[in-house]
A and B are shown apart, each in its own frame.
Chain A
Amino acid sequence: MIKVSVPNMNVVPIVVKPVFEELGYEFIAPPKMSRKTIEEGAKYAPEFACFPLKAVLGDFILASRKGAEYLVIFGGTGPCRFGWYGSTLQIILKNLGIPAKVFVLDFPTEKWARDTFSILGINGSSVKKLIHSGLIALKKLRLIELAQELARKIRPFEVKIGESDKTLQKIYKIVDNENSFIRLMKMKNEIKLMFEGINKNSNHELIRIGLVGELYMCLQEELNMWTESKLGKLGAFVDRSAIGLWKYVTGDIGLNFAHRRAKRIAYPWLKWHAGGESIYSIGYSLIFERKGYDGVVHISPLGCMPEIVAQTIMEKCVNIPILNLVFDEHTGETGVNTRLEAFCDLLKLRKE
């Protein structure tokens, strides 16, 4: 069986696993992202490449050491650099002497699309089964996003700090091991019950923070130093409605109405979507301001082209405090902690 791997991106390995297994591949989950992944990637990646490329390269190197032959990544032809990742990674891996092939899910030309489908379908799995596994994948994604949403709501109130994070990890494991569609359908209540079981103390004042920024950096907790859960533990409700995998999938094809609204609100400030999440960063920050949130945390990797545009404009148009967190391979966790604590203190003081 051909071994396939994907880069870490929050729960993506869990979600895409059933699809690849249905297609007849052996799925190899990349090792959990750690310092080693980042170091490995930063060593071989181009110097000024954006941080996600380095992290993905690290993932690919480690996954190929585990035996992966195909490394799958999305592509694109947008203005952001992400669409060119596949080609760059292939060149780097080739020069490192790693035989693994980078497989870009992307259709820039007709020939490319035909090749993609012919490689994907080598094992002749039926369309019906494929759709079934696709539905399982979507269901898993929805369940995990629900769990994350619940965790965000409970985190500021938990008595024993860190309990919701533990529950979340437990849920990841359960969802990962469950492959029956019917049982997945019933899991929603189970997840809700698990979070209801956490002890809460509800008598402290809540600050509300909106999270915006680049998709990959916001989702990959190891890269953004667990910003989201740290803010929660500092007593802030974090609204991550701006970013999410499901949102990304639906927003890209124009089905997400919240995204459309954000685009409309940001239009006076940025008249053209400059790739990535630039226009959503601005739009959702303005929405958070209108909703009366206390602050916005903006996360971006170093050298991200669209987010620099967004940052420049947000400084002018958003009238609530913004914390810009720019991450790269040299970012230390203590520095981030200090800034998050200071930001939360500032917001609490402003409220009084």
Chain B
Amino acid sequence: MVYYHSIMKIGIPRAGLYYQFFPLWDTFFKELGFEVVYSPPTNASLLKKGLEYAHSDICFPMKVNFGHVYWLKDKVDVLFVPRFISLEEKKYMCPKFMGLPDMLKASISNLPPLLDVNFNIRKKPFIRSWIEVGKRLRVSANKVKKALVKAEISQKSYQWNNLNGGDGLKIGIVARPYIIYDKYVSAELIDRLKEKGMNILTADNLIPEIINKEIAILKKPIYFDFGEKNVGTALHFLNSGEVDGFLYLISFECGPDSLLKEIIDDRARTSDIPYTTLVLDEHTEIAGILTRVEAFLDMIEYKSKTKFNL
């Protein structure tokens, strides 16, 4: 049970799906009059704690998530770690997200109460999940609905402003939101590329219709959340030639991506758009990543100068 004394502090770990939904979550809780406490952006000491508490075989972003929760646990009254089961119709999140609140409870002791509400669009619309969140925080359903309207507007109007008006190369980046927008995990790749005057395109800059059109060629629909988005984006890059080349960032031990990569690899064999995969984990050296990215960019430039084709 959760009781609030003055203003309740809600802790949101800056990891996982925070990077996809932060405009919504932030507006929602602030609209209801709560104080929202975020963990700091991922850094080495947070990650160290995560490695200490998470299972050694689990994927890198989850280890990061554990570190954020550990940082927050003594500083807040309640932690917002929902159980994401399905974000889109006929899709599933990865099993690790389904078990995340339970894993946290089992691994880290002295946790504050978790708001482990199920978000499962297969069973009930999200608004009912949000009402349940409100119920646990002792907020009426009407207030929740009003706050949610505002929150959804702010989510929709958020500009995923990655395009950098320069006249440099156009580079696509395909990755899950918690890899690409986490600066520590992705080695600040977006910022570094922008500094070089490059235009960056991610899945969030594309309209859903484009992605759906590319996905339609697959015989069996992909049932992983973000899987369809990533594969659709990558196929769009390969088919349309909208970018000069693209990077696919996956984390080590990422289950869905390891298999979905085969679809992209298969298409890339017959396409002349350069593409490379970077596998990230806690042992990744930034220098190693940058060397590979630089070599990739040099190759693209060389290719555009000389019209060199393999």
Contact = CB atoms under 8 A, between A and B. Distances in A.
B220 interface: yes
Contact of B92 (A49, A79, A91): A79
B148 interface: no
* 10 shortest interchain CB distances as A-B pairs: A309-B99, A316-B106, A48-B258, A79-B92, A274-B95, A274-B98, A305-B95, A305-B255, A274-B99, A275-B95
A309 B95 contact: yes
A49 B265 CA distance: 14
B141 interface: no
Contacts of B269: 95
B144 interface: no
B262 A108 contact: no
A80 B98 CA distance: 11
Contacts of A330: none
20 contacts: A46-B258, A48-B253, A48-B254, A49-B259, A77-B92, A81-B256, A94-B266, A112-B219, A270-B102, A271-B102, A275-B98, A278-B99, A303-B57, A303-B255, A305-B96, A308-B57, A309-B98, A312-B55, A313-B106, A326-B57
Interface of A: 46-50, 53, 75, 77-81, 83-88, 91-92, 94-95, 104, 106, 108-109, 112, 269-276, 278, 302-303, 305-306, 308-309, 311-313, 315-317, 326
A83 B259 CA distance: 11
A312 B107 contact: yes
Given A271-B83, A272-B98, A312-B103, A108 B259 contact: no
Interface of B: 54-55, 57-58, 83, 85, 90, 92-96, 98-99, 101-103, 106-107, 116, 118, 218-224, 252-256, 258-263, 266, 269, 279
Of the listed residues B57, B99, B103, B219, the one surrounded by the most CB atoms of chain A closer than 10 A to its CB is B99
Contacts of A53: 259
Contacts of A306: 95
Contact of A78 (B92, B118, B252, B263): B92
B57 A315 contact: no
Contacts of A81: 255-256, 258-259
Given A84-B259, A312-B107, A316-B106, A108 B98 contact: no
Given A49-B259, A79-B92, A312-B106, 4 more contacts: A109-B221, A273-B98, A275-B92, A302-B57
Contacts of B102: 269-271, 309, 313
B96 A309 contact: yes
A213 to B, nearest CB: 14
A75 to B, nearest CB: 8
Contacts of B116: 271
Contact of B99 (A94, A270, A326): A270
